[in-house]
Amino acid sequence: MSQYAYLSEPDPELVPILQSPPPPPPADTPAEGDVEGQRIFLTRWMNEGGRKAHESILPKESEYTVKDYRIPVENGEISVRSVVPTPTDNDELFPLLFWAHGGGWVAGDLDTDDYPLRAIAHEIRVSVVSVDYRLAPVHRHPTQVNDSYTALKWASPNRAHLSVSRLNKPQAVENAPILRADVKKGLVLGGISAGAHVASVLAHRARDDPFFSHRPVTGHLLQVPPSLHYAAQVPEEYKCRLLSMEQNKLAPILTAVSMKQYWDSLAGDASPSLPEISPLLAAHAGLSPAVLQICGMDPLRDEAFLYNDLLVKAGVNTQVFSYPGLPHGFSYIFPDFVQAHKWNEDYRVGLRWLLAGTAEKAQ
């Protein structure tokens, strides 16, 4: 039995929902095999949930500026969105949070996490860039990571000690004054679900890339991260710890069958044991500090806890927040739950912790 099996015991607020008959599927539910229809349906469902869950904490529009951009990537273009806090003076610059949305690599867009990111930008005083990476199965691995990495580099010029007036000069990086981001104040990679997988892979890439030697990633924030393809070759000593995929196989929101379908859509014919598909199997020494948010009723629970333990073993500082008896992504579906409020608070505590570490090193 998994050492975390007790975390599957349903949260008291979830019990009556589990005991109620499930609602009938919506009339516009797409047919099995309708890839584009399923993408549209799932994206709309996630986006509506995200807006409803966070509209009560949305800051006034005067408190931030939102802008979308198109940037070139290999064989195409993608969109990114910036959310920049309203500065208190012309020279104020902010740390940077780079964000990847969830959706099983097959759904989601810039609107999926838009409301919570607006709130985070305002409350934490951090400039946010989110990426609309191309989706599987039309675009398989490594497209999602490659698109996101290109966007990360677009957002990450070294702006230390540059005032906005200096940045407006022609020789300055073109997007610097718009983002108002100084990565010397902090560069955090974050994401939820599939986006957390992307953020994890980006953290490993950036660690080994000379481009980031003078602008290193200073933290990564992983919410309900998938880190191990179900068909990956796993060391024998790990197998006894990876039982939640079976224990929580019929959990609400994300089932084991659905997760396997998402993995298949992402990986295609690529080896499931590649570290950029299964980042749990990568080398972790030298990574930036990490924050993980893990749900007890999630099929991904055990691999997330194991991933954390491997980070710690490699000398990486981590902070873990767990939510007993609650399924994958519950805070978007049940925003009034007590634990959903805790999730949002932990998100902020974790991000502040990552940024505080950056500030300490700068002193």
- pLDDT band for position 190 (cuts 50, 70, 90): very high
User: Please, what is the average pLDDT of the chain?
Assistant: 92
| Mean pLDDT value across residues 352-361 | 81
Helices 35-54 and 114-124: angle between axes, nearest 10 degrees: 40
CB 179 within 8 A of CB 84: yes
- pLDDT band for position 357 (cuts 50, 70, 90): confident
- pLDDT band for position 359 (cuts 50, 70, 90): low
Max mean pLDDT among 35-39, 169-173, 339-343 falls in: 339-343
Per-residue pLDDT for 166 more than 80?
Answer: no
CATH number of 5-362: 3.40.50.1820
Residue 320: CB atoms within 10 A of its CB come to: 18
| Mean pLDDT value across residues 176-196 | 92
The residues, ordered by sequence, that sit 6+ positions from 146 with a Cβ below 8 Å of its Cβ are: 73, 74
Q: Number of helices and strands (H, E) in the chain?
A: 13, 8
- Where b means 16+ CB within 10 Å and e means fewer, 135-147 reads bbbebbbbbbbbb
Q: What per-residue confidence (pLDDT) applies to 360?
A: 61
Structure tokens at 139: 């675009």
DSSP, residue by residue, 31-69 = PTT-HHHHHHHHHHHHHHHHHHHHGGGPPPGGGEEEEEE
Residue 213: CB atoms within 10 A of its CB come to: 8
With helix as H, strand as E and coil as C, how does 4-41 read? CHHHHCCCCCCHHHHHCCCCCCCCCCCCCCCHHHHHHH
Q: Are strands 96-100 and 64-73 parallel, antiparallel or unpaired?
A: unpaired
Cα distance between the two ends of the chain: 46
Q: What per-residue confidence (pLDDT) applies to 161?
A: 35
Q: Over the stretch 215-253, which tens digit does the pLDDT of each residue have? A: 899 999 999 999 999 999 999 999 999 999 999 999 999
Model pTM score: 0.93
Per-residue pLDDT for 34 more than 90?
Answer: no
Helical (H) or strand (E) element with 76:
strand 76-85
Token look-up 């902090």 returns 186
Separation CA 5–CA 321 (nearest Å) = 16
**Where are the domains positioned within the chain?**
5-362
